[in-house]
Amino acid sequence: MAPRRRSFAVANGSLHEAFAAVDLAACLGAVTAADAEAVQALGLRVKRILRALTAPAR
């Protein structure tokens, strides 16, 4: 795997960890549901970008 692609794959894994942390924080009441949803929405945008960056060239 090329170093660049590997870096994006690692970033994707970290993004999933961040999703889990935000979800846990919302469950514990540390953040509001609205804030958690906003973070999740931004994370979804980043995930789509990472997916596009790791896709094979057409």
Q: Is the pTM of this model over 0.75?
A: yes
Per-residue pLDDT, 1 = 58
Contact status, residue 12 vs residue 52, Cβ threshold 8 Å:
no
25 CB-near residues (< 8 Å, 6+ apart): 31, 36
Contact present, 12 and 54 (Cβ < 8 Å): yes
Query: How many domains does the structure of the chain reveal?
Result: 1
Mean pLDDT by 10 residues, the chain (58 residues): 84 94 97 96 94 81
Please list, in sequence order, all residues whose beta carbon lies within 8 angstroms of the beta carbon of residue 23, skipping any fewer than 6 positions away. Answer: 36, 40
The boundaries of the domain holding residue 38 are 3-54
